[in-house]
Structures are given as structure tokens and as C-alpha cells.
Amino acid sequence: MSALHDRHRAVLMPWHAQSKAHGGPAFNAGEGCFLIEESGNRIFDFSSGWIAANLGHGHPRLIKAIADQAARLYYAPPIFVNDTRAELAARLSDLSPWPDGARVHFTSGGGEANDDAIKAARMITGRHKILAAYRSYHGTTGGASGATGDMRRWPNEPSSYPAVRFFAPYPYRSPFHTDDPDEEVRRAMDHLDRIVTQEGAHNIAALLIEPMVGSSGLIRYPDGYLDALRRFTEERGILLIFDEVMTGFGRVGAAFAAERFQVAPDMIVFAKGVNGAAIPLGGLMIREGVARHFDDTVFDAGHTHAGHPIAMASGVAALDAYEQGGLFTRARALEDRFRDRLTDLRQRHAVVGDIRGAGAFWGIELVRDRATKEPLVPWYAKDASLNYRLTERMLQDGNWVYARYGILMLAPPLIVTDEELDAAMAQLSRSLTWLESQI
Ligand code: PLP
């Protein structure tokens, strides 16, 4: 263990028992699609960190914007007018899926933004409950953790926000006992309808959902599901909130999943890709017609760092970089390459049970047996050590891949070249060969 690792023990590492948390690689530098170890070894960032560094590392445009803004003005409280803040909000409104635009509230990250989205929905509707999917992650702050479906909410229960959960489609392991996608959607909606009837639609402020599930399984919903949710919520006066913290800013091959899947919610929660994670930044866009509620009613939320000028400058620079690089279109074009390469990987490795995704956001679900679909590591397993060993092995083979319970999330920076992607796929194939020797 290096002197740095030893010194690092003063950091309380998230999501880990501390005795096991400080042994991984040290990354003190990065360049393009690579994280660089102390030794100079370059690791391909196949997951953009935690699906966040969409512009890679050391992007010159981001660095310059941050430095310039810091020199001019690095802080002004969010209640004052500020040029950079105005610029980013207006640009986001233009990028939003709504023809009449949006009003934007800024936060420091995705969890906070989900909390504020829930608050806003409750203020707007006067209703108190929130609907959320079991396979979901919305953050670790109070409201977001209360809405989260997966086990990361357990330590914070009960939440002060009454969330009612439902099962959403999961075509590979259908909770609705069908392998017909249309039937899956019909049964999922019937299930939701029963829940809402029991809860009272008039009590429900919003339905919060990741339009493509991220870290709770990387699930792409069958066609028609998001549409059906839109109709269902509209008919009942329930606001529809898309948590696009992972899917936003080109990740799925369009500005937002809302655009990619052609379903306009009432609010979009964002973070991560908004500025390629260069500075903590998140936020909430509320469609203009809905946001008008706050014209004469107080919007009762705010944070010291909301709309922080340096974060705003990094956001504007990131939007410029996405635009000038044509990166949303590039992500869409990467979809075919991903499908091709992953289909090939599935043919060569029996451990690959399912592949799914959109744009530059793909999941591999690993199984012990393709016929029975026995998971590599059961969801919520107490012993997920094979998952950790696989992560270590992938690092040794040259890739950082964010893996949860045998589901790999592939989401490289959108600046990735075809050659870099192919090289990373070859490295991944070597890791899967190793994995097959372990089970
Ligand atoms: N929502 C989704 C879909 C996420 O994936 C995450 C984090 O991974 C969050 C919300 C929480 O964002 P943050 O970690 O910035 O609070």
C-alpha cells in the first residue's frame, strides 16, 4: 500500500465499509477518455466515471471557462441576476423538449434536484404522494432516497416523503410474466392503475422515473411504456418527472431521453453530463406552462450554491462543446457500433445474458447460465465479491467499468473514437474470458 493510500484513510469513502475501501487504483490525472494512475498507466474510462464525465477528462474548453469565470466572479447569491446563470438557463430552456421552453432551478447535484422536483410537484398540485419504480435510483438526499426503489434507500427509511412504488417493465426478467413487449406494457399499466386506484389519484403529486434505468439495472423500457405513462399521468392530473441525471446531454443519442423517445414529461431533472461533471452541478427544468404556477406563489426551495457562477460557466462551455463536436448525433451513431460489438461479445461469451441500451449507454447483464438466466450475482446478494473481483480484473485489463450486481454499464465519454471503443471492447472480452474461468 502506497503512502498516498495510507494518507487517503482520512477520507470517509462512500458506499463502502472503510476497511475495504482504500485499496483501489489512485487517479490523480486524466486525459480524454483515460484516467491516469500514479504510475502513468492509462485506464480507459468506459463508464465516464459514474456516467458523468461525458466530455472526458481535461477538456480545454471547460478548463478555460472555469478559470475565466473564477477570475471575473466566482460567487453571487442565487437571488441576484447574473449573466452566466441567465445564459445557461436560457440555453437549457432552448434545449428542452418543450416548444414553449422551461424555467430552470439549479442545484449542486442530482439527488438535491430530485428533492426539489418532488417539492415543486407537491407545491404545484397540493398533493402529497410520489410514485416511483422499484428498479430506480434517484439519489441519497432525503426525498430522492425516499423515492429510490433499490436497496440504497433502506438505510434512510422511513423517508418523510411518502413514496408509493410500482414495478416497471424489465423485458429480460419480466415482472409481468411475459416475453411479449406489448403485453409487458399492457400488464405494467394495469398494475400501475391498480396501485393508483388504491392510493387515490387525487393524493398523488407526481410520478418520478428514469426514462432508461441507470444504476439499478440499465433497463431500456419497451416501446410504448413511456407514452402510456404520459397518458396515464395526464388523465389523472399527476405530474410526470423524468430523472435524466444519467440519460441527459447526449447519452442516449439526443439532448434528452424525452427527445429520443418522443415523450415530453412536465419536469426534467439533470446533473452529471450537464457540464461533464467538471464542477458539482445539477438542476430541474419545469415546463413553462407548469412553472407559471410560481409566478405569484413562492418557489420554496434554494441553496447557497444554486446557480454558482463557476458551475454555470462550466455548463455553458459544455453545451458549446457538445454542439461544436456534434456529440449528441455522434452518440446516436455509436448505437450501431455498440450493438454490433456487444452482439459479437454475446456470441463469444456464454456469461453474457443480455445486452441492451441506446446511444452511448449500454448494459451487459452477466449470467451463470444463459438457459436459466441465473444471475452472476443475485440482485441484493449479501456476497457480491465476484462483482468486485470482476471490477478489479477489468481495471487490470485496462478498463474502468461501473458494475453493479453483475450488470456492467458501458458509457464512455462521447468524444470516444471508434478505435478507442474497439480497443476497450477487446480488453473487456479478455476480462470476460477470465470471468468464465471463475464460475
Ligand atoms: N438520479 C440518477 C438517475 C442517478 O443515477 C443519480 C446518481 O447516480 C442521481 C439521481 C443522484 O445524483 P447525485 O449523485 O448527483 O446526487
The DSSP-derived string for 178-203 is -S-HHHHHHHHHHHHHHHHHHH-GGG
Q: For 318, list phi and psi in degrees, rounded to 5.
A: -65, -45
pLDDT band at 94, cuts 50/70/90? very high
pLDDT at residue 1 greater than cutoff 80: no
Alpha carbons within 13 A on the beta-carbon side of 159: 23
pLDDT of residue 186: 98
pLDDT of residue 155: 87
Pairing assessment for the beta strands 407-410 and 402-404 based on DSSP bridges: antiparallel
Q: Is the per-residue pLDDT at 387 higher than 80? A: yes
**Whole-number pLDDT of residue 244:** 99
The C-alpha atoms of residue 187 and residue 221 are separated, in whole angstroms, by 13
- Using the mean position of ligand 1's atoms as its centre, give its distance from the Cα of residue 430 in Å: 30
Contact 278, 62 (CB under 8 A): yes
- CA 207, CA 234: separation in Å to the nearest integer? 11
pLDDT at 322: 98
Our answer on whether the CB atom of 283 is closer than 6 Å to any ligand 1 atom is: no
User: Is a pLDDT exceeding 90 seen at residue 41?
Assistant: yes
Q: Is the CB of 246 under 6 A from ligand 1?
A: yes
Tell me how far apart the alpha carbons of residues 56 and 140 are, in angstroms, rounded to a whole number: 25
**Quick check: CB of 139 below 6 Å from ligand 1?**
yes
One-letter amino acid identity for 292?
A: R
DSSP string for 297-363: S------TTTT-HHHHHHHHHHHHHHHHTTHHHHHHHHHHHHHHHHHHHHHH-TTEEEEEEETTEEE
Ligand 1 atom at minimum distance from 113 CA: 16
d(CA 202, CA 192): 15
- 262-294 residue pLDDT tens: 999 999 999 999 999 999 999 999 999 999 999
Sign of CA dihedral 321, 327, 328, 331: negative
Q: What is the mean pLDDT of residues 114-133?
A: 98
Helical ranges in 34-81 per DSSP H: 48-51, 60-72
What pLDDT, on a 0 to 100 scale, did the predictor assign at position 38? 87
Q: What is the pLDDT of residues 345-382, one digit of tens each?
A: 999 999 999 999 999 999 999 999 999 999 999 888 88
From the number of C-beta atoms within 10 Å of its C-beta (0-12, 13-18, 19+), residue 43 rates as buried
Nearest-10 crossing angle of helices 309-324, 60-72: 150
Grid cell digits, residue 234: 395526464
The residue contributing the CA closest to ligand 1 atom 16 is 111
Which residue matches cell numbers 391498480? 194
Residue 189 Cβ inside 6 Å of ligand 1? The answer reads: no
Judged against a pLDDT cut of 90, whether residue 162 lies above it is answered with no
Q: What is the pLDDT of residue 245?
A: 98
What is the pLDDT at residue 161?
79
139 C-alpha to ligand 1 centroid (Å) = 5
Average pLDDT over residues 186-203: 98
